Structure 1
Amino acid sequence: MTPEERRELAAIADKLLIGHFHRHVFLCLGPTCCASEAGEAAWDALKRELKDRNLSLAAGPAACYRTKVGCLRVCKGGPVMVVYPEGTWYAGMTADRVPRFVEEHLVGGRPVEDWVFARNPL
């Protein structure tokens, strides 16, 4: 990587506040674990909730980064989501569940146990 490429990447990371979040949410959009439409709807709900609560592109104790993925390899019960560093794995994360997830897990620090199917903390 050239010094110029490194500077460009550092500027992007700065703009995205990489280094300031406390959690990273990965959401699988399907199509194997769920219909792609359900995955996209959940993604849109997650983006909206994080933005409305100033948790995305923000600093602070509940600051959160989000990434949509094509497969988390579970391939059942989707949309599937994992939250790091806790390593909390969720099933059935449809758009209607996202507000409760954000409130309880990301803001309150309490996973929604009824939807958790595995854990792998980092």
Structure 2
Amino acid sequence: MNDERPFYQHHVFFCMNERDGKDARQSCGKCGAEKAQKHAKKRIKELGLNGQGKVRINQAGCLDRCEEGPVLVVYPEGTWYTYVDNADIDDIIDTHLIGGKVVERLKI
């Protein structure tokens, strides 16, 4: 029988969607999402926090919060964040993923 703990302590999804066309809504992919996701993945590895029972950083398609983007969501909590730069990503990693507290200034 499998225990009730999740495979990952935290599973982080970065919206990577890019909308095309002149009437397209804002999209995370055009707001630096790829660079932010790569930064988060690299930093989690450097901290030794990647792998089973720890943290997984993933890419996602459209998470449908375009007007609030770029966005990421942290599970199992279901906490949604927006961010501007790597300092914001580091704050989410340090405060939420490591410290267990929501980064209120970035929460959506």
- Is the 1:79–1:94 contact (alpha carbons within 8 Å) kept by the matching residues of 2? no
Distance 2:31 2:80 in 1: 21
Structure 2 segments unaligned to the other structure (5+ residues): 1-5, 19-25
1:26: which partner in 2? 13
1:101: which partner in 2? 92
**1:47 partner SS:** helix
Q: CA deviation at 1:30?
A: 3.3
Higher relative contact order (CA 8 A, sep 6+): 2
- The letter for the 1-side match of 2:42 is R
Q: TM-score, normalised by structure 2?
A: 0.77
Q: TM-score, normalised by structure 1?
A: 0.69
Equivalent position to 1:113, from 101, 104, 107: 104
- Is the 1:80–1:91 contact (alpha carbons within 8 Å) kept by the matching residues of 2? yes
- Is the 1:33–1:75 contact (alpha carbons within 8 Å) kept by the matching residues of 2? yes
- The letter for the 2-side match of 1:86 is E
Q: CA deviation at 1:20?
A: 4.0
Structure showing greater Rg: 1
- The letter for the 2-side match of 1:34 is C
- Is the 1:33–1:77 contact (alpha carbons within 8 Å) kept by the matching residues of 2? no
Q: CA deviation at 1:70?
A: 2.1
Structure 1: 4+ residue segments shifted above 4 A: none
Number of corresponding residues? 96
2:72: which partner in 1? 81
What percentage of aligned pairs have identical amino acids?
33
